[in-house]
Amino acid sequence: MTDLELIRLADQAREEAYAAYSGFPVGAALLGRSGKVYTGCNVENAAYPLTTCAERTAVVKAVSEGEREFEAIAVVTATGATPCGSCRQILREFGGPQGELRVIVADLDGNSNTFTIRELLPHGFTPDQLG
Ligand code: THU
């Protein structure tokens, strides 16, 4: 699975976004160590804070299907936006002991940037800190 293929899957997932209030559809595609890809989109609600982000949709799908280790996630938006703070924390939980998960953000014009989750959430709270 190449980064470009993962971006394409995230772009397709974006088509399913329920962004009725923000008008800002987001698509994500999460690549598990097994090679399987779990996609997600944002799902909004009339009670606005109940919205689920695309990245979290993908993580919850994956973990609920038995996969907990991931190589990369692609996130596609109109602006090439980076994941929100809550999603960074969720991704850090499953992003490897050193936070090596690759986070690829892409826009609709073929521009992309790649970070590790450690770069996006430096000094974040990690499971080992529970002692
Ligand atoms: N959103 C995501 O899906 N992922 C993020 O990391 C940032 C924000 C969604 C939430 C809401 O449906 C819309 O984008 C605007 O904030």
* Ordered per-residue pLDDT tens for the chain, 131 residues: 999 999 999 999 999 999 999 999 999 999 999 999 999 999 999 999 999 999 999 999 999 999 999 999 999 999 999 999 999 999 999 999 999 999 999 999 999 999 999 999 999 999 999 99
68: Cβ–Cβ under 8 A, 6 or more apart, which residues?
A: 62, 94
Nearest ligand 1 atom, CA 42: 3
Identify the pLDDT of residue 100.
98
Assess whether the C-beta atom of 91 lies below 6 angstroms from ligand 1: no
Helix (H) or strand (E) holding 28: strand 27-32
- pTM (global) more than 0.85: yes
